[in-house]
Structure 1
Amino acid sequence: PVKLYDEGKPNTRMISAYVGLTGETVNIPDAYKTKGFDFSGTKAFDKKTGYRSKSFLTVPLKNHEEEIIGVLQLLNALDKKTNESIPFSAKIQDIVEALSSQAAVAITNKNLIRDLEILFESFIKLIATAIDAKSPYTGEHCARVPEITMMLVEAVNVSKDGPFKDVHFSDKEMYELKIAAWLHDCGKVTTPEYVVDKATKLETIYDRIHTLDTRFEVLKRDEEIKVLKKRLKIETDVFASEADKKDALKSLRKKHKDKLVKMEKEMDFIRATNIGGEFMSGDKKDRVKKIAKYRWKDNGTVKDFLSENEVYNLCITKGTLTAEERQIINDHIVQTIDMLQQLPYPKHLKNVPEFAGGHHEKLDGTGYPKGLTKDEMSVQAKAMAIADIFEALTAKDRPYKEGKALSMAMRILGFMKNDAHVDPELFELFVQEKIYLKYGEQYLGPEQLDMD
């Protein structure tokens, strides 16, 4: 490319740079006879190739704001009869200048479309980043799901055999899917933070496990008071012998110690239960309900150790969310679809709501929000469903679990394939092309990379 400036000074020696700087049309009849411009490069080219560069017509390209956005240069006008190089006439210059304005409009329009696409994509990524930043527990989910989705669909695109040999997505379709993947969780902007950030079962605006710790301390205090009263009674019993007193005190200390040990175990169990996990058995729930019946004094009022709400939350079977809170989380996909359907998409982006809104659907029709079945789901939505699940399984920033190793994540995905929750053909491609490993090497910790 020709530089407009050379060491900070206008480059007026080069004809294209001069026109680009001044906006003037320059019509050179013969480059070899013209002075004021550097044609050394042209002459060297002619000498090497045997060509004869003669007439030059260089016209500025100006947009609607009279800004110079480029230069159009024509070389060697030809005489129709002799086919020899001749100077560009004033008439030809007028025609070229008129055409150059049309060329400038075309270039401006193309640049404008490109700039709008860049702005649009940047705005979408800004929304996704804001959603991820809203909660430390979703990490970079909105940014990573598009990575996995595009890896999988690109594998579909290059398939030479198998179920996807006849499936091919154009560049526009790939772009449409990328936009949908970035927006797949945009509805989470409406999800309350106390639900998104619920790291433990008892968390509201704070973790109520600390309140239970205090109650246990109250129980231990009350037990200590009871023991002290019994000890005083034993020691002041004038009718008991010293040997009897000694035995009674020894028995009292043992019972007290055993009671404290039991309380500590019960509290450790409650703390562990509060963390949440993949599954909570019925016997553990029964134990929570048994502990709930302990009695403690709250400012003189005797109460059950756990309230109904605390028992309900501690008995959550999976994760940290109650059924009602889970429904609030699930509602984000409805909000996503509603929000995305409001946008006036151009033709090549019209499927964004469908792709983005289908990543929680399942092949057997048990997904949400529409309960779609296999034949009602697009390949793009099925691919995004696998990406969403895989990212969630391997993510290290979920409040109730550690990021799973690749082997465990793939095992769970395999179970979901068998249960008709994810597409089996896309899952097989995910395995065959080792997309899990390509993603893992870029985004997961070394301790998670336990398979090739």
Structure 2
Amino acid sequence: MSELNNADALKQLLALSYRLSTEKNTTKLLEDILMSAKALTHADGGTIYSVTNNHALKFETLVNDSLKLHMGGTSDTPINFDCIPILIDGEANKDALVALAAANHETINIEDAYQVKEHNTSAARAMDQKTGYRTQSVLTVPLENHEGDINGVLQLINAQDKSKVVPFSQQKTDLVLSLSSLAAVALTNKQLITDMEILFQSLAKLIARAIDEKSPYTGGHCRRVPELTLMLADAVNNINLGPLADFTLNADEKHTLSVAGWLHDCGKIATPEYVMDKSTKLETVFDRIEFVDAKFEIVKKQFEIEELKFPEKKDAIKDKQQQLVEDRQFIKHINIGGEYLPQPDVERVAHIAKKYNIEMNGQLEPVLNETEMSYLQIQKGTLSDEERNIINHHIDITILLLESLPFPKHLQNVPEYAGGHHEKMDGTGYPRGLTKEQMSLPARMMAIADIFEALSAGDRPYKKAKKLSECIKIMGFMSLDKHIDNDLFNVFIHEKVYVEYANKFMTDTQIDAVDESNIPGFTSLI
């Protein structure tokens, strides 16, 4: 077979250049480099290697037409050969041509592997003995990028001309060198992109960990939400029933969803710790319950003095002292917070504030001032309306921060996915009051993940850990009330996403039986 003319060679190199620039999968990219070089030189076989972090050559793809071999790469046959060290004791590994080429940054062209004296080809001959093959011409080319780094090695075997093995000509060598330059650039660009993706993902996880570390009570939330979001995304991808049967997320979209999950609470980096960590109602920078209790102690002393002054009123004073003990315990109890403070208890706080007075700076003051009374009258949890607004403001900060970042095209939906996890399908959520139709499906997935994680968490200071069945029941009512996406909730139940999550993150004491036939808002997809 005659040599390629310049026009044909250029055409093939241009076509290859385009493929190299568009291929995202490194394994396919390496195999494409090998197969293109093999086609350009009419080689019978070849191998391409990548460089590992410990400076060794890893077999990526091996092909041989005569032996009908295709190993590694896109084949179903893995390569189990050991990696080849480029250096041995700091010196070039002369026992392997590919290692020598990489170590010395040189192209090695051998006409006959059995006749050459200046290079060690014993490995090729040993392999020939096992396979019955005859290695003759060998071309070994390091893939060297513009910075002089070796990111792979290409080795071709037995150039063919009319079914006859011939040496690799200068033209073919030049073509492979041109190809290797293109390949090295493509591999470098791919590695740079991969490294940047890994770095960005690591930074996102670092921010999430920093936020989790801010609070001992919500630690792990920023880690669990992205995991649960992807569990639900996988379930939606796999479902072939119901209104979401045709919906799919590709690899880039799942990656975007993962990044958004890790960053969904990044705005909490600006939230004061005393609000995030508020485990009792009276806690601000410090827990004011001790200060309040000290005032009750003063009232107690006042009653004791009154008893000494007016012994004839001893029984009435004893009754007041007993009531004081009960009121004092009541204040300590409700300071802890809980799921709901009944209205009679709210009114009792106001009554206690008016009932007891202490002398401060020559003036009589109520045992509970207006601020303390308002905190103790919080009916759900431990946060006042003002503090809850501070907490809720984190989502505004999240959106502001994420929208300020110049995300590449495949990550441009991160702000939308991350910024919608407090929205409700009926438009009553925050911060933007979006409806279901105004939100993407991935954003709605994250809303479900954020809610279920919060419901099932066993580390909140103001509530006992809920049973799995109770969490699902609450989610069901939220689905009925159009707070979460009903279609996604049905998949969440049907595909047992809640079971997968519970087994991984909930305690054994929380996990109980769930009767799916009695879940509010759930419609079976069968």
What TM-score comes out, normalization by structure 2 length?
A: 0.79
**Equivalent residue for 2:79?**
none
One-letter amino acid matched to 2:267: G
Kindly indicate whether structure 1 or structure 2 has the higher relative contact order, using CA contacts under 8 Å at least 6 residues apart: 1
Which has the greater radius of gyration? Answer: 1
Percent of aligned positions that are identical: 52
Pairwise mapping of residues 15-414 of structure 1 onto structure 2 (< 5 A)? 15-79=97-161, 82-231=162-311, 252=314, 254-293=315-354, 294-414=356-476
Does the aligned pair in 1 maintain the 2:417–2:442 contact within 8 Å?
Answer: yes
Answer whether contact 2:87 2:103 (CA < 8 A) is retained.
no
- Counterpart of 2:510 in structure 1 is 448
Letter matched to residue 429 of structure 1: V
C-alpha contact (below 8 Å) 2:427/2:435 kept by paired residues: yes
* Shift of residue 9, structure 1, vs aligned partner: 5.8
- Provide the rounded CA distance (Å) in 2 between the counterparts of 1:448 and 1:42: 62
Give the aligned length: 431
Deviation string, structure 1 residues 167-186 (Cα, Å, up to 9, x no partner): 01100110011111111111
Per-residue deviation, 1:94: 2.7
Alignment deviations for residues 157-214 of structure 1 (CA, whole Å, 9 cap, x no partner): 0112212110011001100111111111111112222221222111111111111110
Q: Name whichever of 212-221 and 132-141 sits farther off.
A: 132-141
Structure 1: runs of 5 or more not aligned: 232-247
Equivalent position SS for 1:162: coil
CA distance in 1, matches of 2:513, 2:150: 57
The one of 418, 422, 434 aligned to 2:496: 434
- Match of 1:85, SS state, is strand
Q: How has the CA–CA distance of structure 1 residues 278 and 286 changed in structure 2, closer, same or farther, with 3 Å as cutoff?
A: same
Alpha-carbon separation, structure 1, partners of 2:281 and 2:147: 61
8 A contact 1:3–1:17 mirrored in 2: yes
How many angstroms apart in 2 are the aligned matches of 1:200 and 1:106?
A: 58
Measured on the aligned residues, the alpha-carbon RMSD in Å equals 1.7
What is the rounded CA distance, in whole Å, between the counterparts of 1:374 and 1:321 in structure 2? 28
Kindly provide the amino acid, as one letter, of the partner of residue 13 in structure 1: D
Partners of 1:13 and 1:36 within 8 A in 2: no
Distance 1:264 1:447 in 2: 35
Contact 1:395 1:402 in 2 (8 A): no
Which is worse superposed, 401-410 or 120-129?
401-410
What does residue 238 of structure 1 align with? Answer: none
1:92-125: CA deviation from partner (whole Å, max 9, x where unpaired): 3233223212211111111111000000100111
Do the aligned partners of 1:288 and 1:315 also contact (CA within 8 Å) in 2? yes
Distance, in Å, in 2 between the alignment partners of 1:278 and 1:42 is 74
- Given residue 175 of structure 2, which amino acid in structure 1 is its aligned partner? I
Gapped regions of structure 2 (runs ≥ 5): 1-82, 515-526
One-letter code aligned to 2:449: A
Distance in 1 between the 2:156 and 2:222 partners? Answer: 50
Say if 1:361 and 1:371, in contact at 8 Å, map to a contact too. yes
Per-residue deviation, 1:90: 2.7
Alpha-carbon offset, residue 276 of structure 1: 1.1
Deviations 1:114-149 (A, max 9, x none): 000000100111111111112222211111100100
Q: TM-score, normalised by structure 1?
A: 0.91
TM-superposition CA deviations, 1:258-313 (whole Å, max 9, x none): 32221111011111111111111111111000000121222432111111111111
Pairwise CA distance, 1:6? 4.9
Shift of 1:49: 4.1
Contact between 1:61 and 1:69, CA under 8 Å: does it hold in 2? yes
| Corresponding residue to 1:415 among 455, 477, 499 | 477
- Which of the pair is proportionally richer in helix? 1
Provide the C-alpha distance between the structure 1 equivalents of 2:95 and 2:205, rounded to a whole number of angstroms. Answer: 45
Q: Which amino acid aligns with 2:121?
A: F
Distance 1:364 1:119 in 2: 38
AA at the equivalent of 2:265: D
The answer (yes or no) to whether the contact 2:420–2:443 under 8 Å persists in 1 is yes
Instruction: Give, in whole Å, the separation in 2 of the partners of 1:195 and 1:303.
Output: 28
